[in-house]
Chain A
Amino acid sequence: MTALAHTAGAGTHAGGPAPGQGRRRGGIAAYLLLLPGALWLVLFFLLPLIQLFAVSLQSGFPGYPGYYYRDVNAGNYLTAITQFAGHFGRSLLYAGLATFFAFVLAYPLAYAMAFKAGRWRNVMMIAVIAPFFTSFILRTIAWRQILADEGPVARVLNTLHLLPGGRITETWVAVVAGLTYNFLPFMVLPIYASLERADPKVIEAGGDLYANGFTTFRTVTLPVSLPGVIAGTLLTFIPAAGDYVNAELLGSDRSTKMVGNVIESQFFRVLGGFPVAAALSFTLMALILAMVFVYVRRFGTEELL
């Protein structure tokens, strides 16, 4: 239960040395505890990343599609960036929009949980996490069905002439809606965790000092919850930018595909697509890391690591 809250919140204070805790110096024990897990991460996270980088520079064997030789072929990156620039743009745009909408939906929910829910707090917490346990693929397909042309939402909107294109699925709106939906809990939990830790008296004092509610929110409540907001936006933006399931299930064949879709199809459906797919993956990772770095610098939480 508290697991997710901890996880989500922990990003904000993990690693900061908690004062006054009994600590031991080095010794063999530390390395024995560290070794198995660290080894696993080196073998199955770090090494694969290095391999992926190596693959991104490989060239295909002429005449033997699907076979590669070691090379320093930066052309793969050129292909990745020039040919799929639109996909990169869409990935970042959709992920940004989804992060924004998730924030708008999550903040009131987290706020109500922290300050208004009273003894219903735990029930609401369970309610936020519970949908997680129905497979996210099942839920995304459910959305596909609900938003489909013959589905209830599209028909009502069409009857009211509120749907300019006549349909919801196969549009970017559906993709962004799906991304927003899927990653919403990742936004709620860290914001809730930081609001819950806040002293209600601080916010109350803000209310006494500034008569205006919006000023209180902007100058007191929001800053208090900022670590949670940052953690939440990262936890939403990163997976959303790399996602391809929503674009695949809710989007159209051409105009709404994201980088994830290209990477997936280059790996699985394009013979000899490995190097370009690897270059795409690496570019995506670099883009996201760069944006995260700038973002964290801008809002200054070095405690994040």
Chain B
Amino acid sequence: MTGLSTATARPAPTPATGASRPPAGRGPSVPRRVRTWLTTHVAMITALTVLLYLFVPVAYTFAFSFNDYRKSNIVWNGAAGPTLKHWRDPCGAPGVCDALVVSLQVGAIATVVATVLGTMLAFALVRHRFPGRGVSNVLVFIPMATPEIVLGASLLTIFVQGFSRFGLRLGFWTIVIAHIMFCISFVVVTVKARLQSLDPRLEEAAQDLYAGPGGTFWRVTFPLVLPGIVSAALLAFSLSFDDFIITNFVSGDETTFPKFVYVSYLRGIPAQANVIGFSMFVIAVLLVVAGQLVGNARKR
């Protein structure tokens, strides 16, 4: 904390380059220079350490995808050395790819539905004034402030005691319903932020140039909001794909990827799960980086 505060004293306007405030007159003494270096860089050093900490289990997951283990993938088998066999056969462990497919399907459906519903909600809340707007805002906000376990428990009780009357059984579709529910709020918040940051003059200009309401929307508003909608969809998919607690409550016999991992941890998760988990990480990072590059290219 003290290091942080000393760093705060000098918010270099041109960051990342060390030299701030060249002392007037004589050159600084060596200890003084060391201190200056430390105070300007301490925030960055701490930051990089924290980042490193975030990556420790990812590195572990990656490393143990090469473990040539006998019974369970818990202890590194030094005698056999690293192996590529799990990477060659990522579906080799029973059930792992079935679970992955379920997760991808649930994620795809939940993302599409939640993105559409959430975007509509965001437009209604930002662009319109109507009775009930305040209540709707609260209705969107509260699910995000509710612990997942309460969401899962409440859904379980209504699926088992209420909706089962309509023939709804715990399984694939109850997972989809639940995921859409908790993704909507996050989509609304993301799209709303984008909508609120739009310059209203752009739309006014379109209307001044005789664009009808439909033309203004599809030619001007929608393209401007699209990045927000895309981010919202990505967020929804990652939330859905990674969800365990709610899924565990409403899934019945259906198994998603996180549930598969959780259920099999006592026996030691198969290395194929490490392969899939790490691959998802790589794919996501590549997608994000590609998105950034496209965004940068557009700006130029």
Say yes or no for B225: interface residue by CB 8 A criterion. Answer: no
* Of B124, B284, B295, most A-chain CB atoms within 10 Å: B124
Contact B181 A44 (CB under 8 A): yes
4 tightest Cβ-Cβ pairs between the two chains A and B:
A242-B147, A3-B231, A213-B9, A118-B16
Which B residues touch A162, using CB under 8 A?
none
CA distance in complex: A213, B196 (Å): 36
Shortest Cβ gap from B64 to chain A (Å): 8
Contact A136 B242 (CB under 8 A): yes
* A 233-257 to B, binary, CB cutoff 8 A, 1 in contact else 0: 0100011011111000100000000
Which A residues touch B6, using CB under 8 A?
213-214
CA distance in complex: A152, B154 (Å): 41
* A 216-244 to B, binary, CB cutoff 8 A, 1 in contact else 0: 11100100000000000010001101111
Say yes or no for A128: interface residue by CB 8 A criterion. Answer: yes
Say yes or no for B19: interface residue by CB 8 A criterion. Answer: no
Contact B16 A117 (CB under 8 A): yes
Which A residues touch B269, using CB under 8 A?
138, 141
Which B residues touch A10, using CB under 8 A?
189-190, 192-193
Contact A135 B257 (CB under 8 A): yes
Q: A3-B234, A150-B75 are in contact. Are A241 and B128 (CB under 8 A)?
A: no
Contact A221 B57 (CB under 8 A): no
Considering only residues 112-158 of chain B, those with a C-beta below 8 Å from chain A are 117-118, 120-121, 123-132, 136-151, 153-158
Chain B residue nearest in CB terms to A3: B231
Contact B150 A281 (CB under 8 A): yes
* Of A13, A22, A47, A109, most B-chain CB atoms within 10 Å: A109
Q: A7-B189, A11-B189 are in contact. Are A181 and B53 (CB under 8 A)?
A: yes
* Of A14, A52, A111, A204, most B-chain CB atoms within 10 Å: A14
- Beyond A128-B54, A142-B64, 16 additional pairs, beta carbon < 8 A: A4-B235, A7-B193, A13-B196, A22-B204, A30-B127, A31-B124, A33-B121, A34-B132, A41-B139, A116-B12, A118-B15, A135-B280, A142-B56, A239-B147, A243-B149, A278-B157
Contact A23 B138 (CB under 8 A): no
Q: Which of B47, B54, B283 contacts A108 (CB 8 A)?
A: B47
Number of interchain pairs (Cβ within 8 Å): 363
Say yes or no for A161: interface residue by CB 8 A criterion. Answer: no
Say yes or no for A200: interface residue by CB 8 A criterion. Answer: yes
CA distance in complex: A208, B14 (Å): 17
Contact B261 A38 (CB under 8 A): no
CA distance in complex: A268, B249 (Å): 9
Say yes or no for B29: interface residue by CB 8 A criterion. Answer: no
Say yes or no for A94: interface residue by CB 8 A criterion. Answer: no
CA distance in complex: A48, B181 (Å): 11
The majority secondary structure among interface residues of chain B is helix
Say yes or no for B51: interface residue by CB 8 A criterion. Answer: yes
**Would you give 27 A-B contacts (Cβ < 8 Å), ordered by A?**
A3-B231, A6-B189, A11-B144, A30-B128, A40-B181, A41-B140, A46-B139, A49-B150, A51-B157, A51-B161, A52-B150, A52-B157, A112-B46, A118-B16, A130-B285, A133-B285, A134-B58, A134-B61, A134-B281, A135-B261, A138-B273, A150-B75, A214-B2, A216-B8, A217-B5, A263-B153, A282-B150
Contact B61 A116 (CB under 8 A): no
Contact B117 A51 (CB under 8 A): no
* Segment among B77-85, B87-95, B286-294 that sits at the interface with chain A: B286-294
Contact B10 A207 (CB under 8 A): yes
Shortest Cβ gap from A41 to chain B (Å): 5
CA distance in complex: A106, B1 (Å): 11
Say yes or no for A90: interface residue by CB 8 A criterion. Answer: no
* A 119-148 to B, binary, CB cutoff 8 A, 1 in contact else 0: 110101011111111111111111111101
Which A residues touch B98, using CB under 8 A?
none
Contact A51 B162 (CB under 8 A): yes
Say yes or no for B31: interface residue by CB 8 A criterion. Answer: no
For this complex, into which size category does the number of interface residues on chain B fall?
35 or more
CA distance in complex: A22, B195 (Å): 11
Shortest Cβ gap from A246 to chain B (Å): 11
Say yes or no for B106: interface residue by CB 8 A criterion. Answer: no
Shortest Cβ gap from B9 to chain A (Å): 3
Contact B149 A3 (CB under 8 A): no
Chain A residue nearest in CB terms to B59: A142
Which B residues touch A2, using CB under 8 A?
227, 231
* B 230-265 to A, binary, CB cutoff 8 A, 1 in contact else 0: 011011001001101100110000000110011001
Contact A238 B153 (CB under 8 A): no
Chain A residue nearest in CB terms to B74: A145
Q: A10-B189, A122-B292 are in contact. Are A131 and B43 (CB under 8 A)?
A: no
Say yes or no for B200: interface residue by CB 8 A criterion. Answer: yes
Shortest Cβ gap from A19 to chain B (Å): 10
Contact B55 A126 (CB under 8 A): no
CA distance in complex: A146, B57 (Å): 8
* A 15-36 to B, binary, CB cutoff 8 A, 1 in contact else 0: 1001011111111011101101
* Segment among A75-83, A167-175, A285-293 that sits at the interface with chain B: A285-293
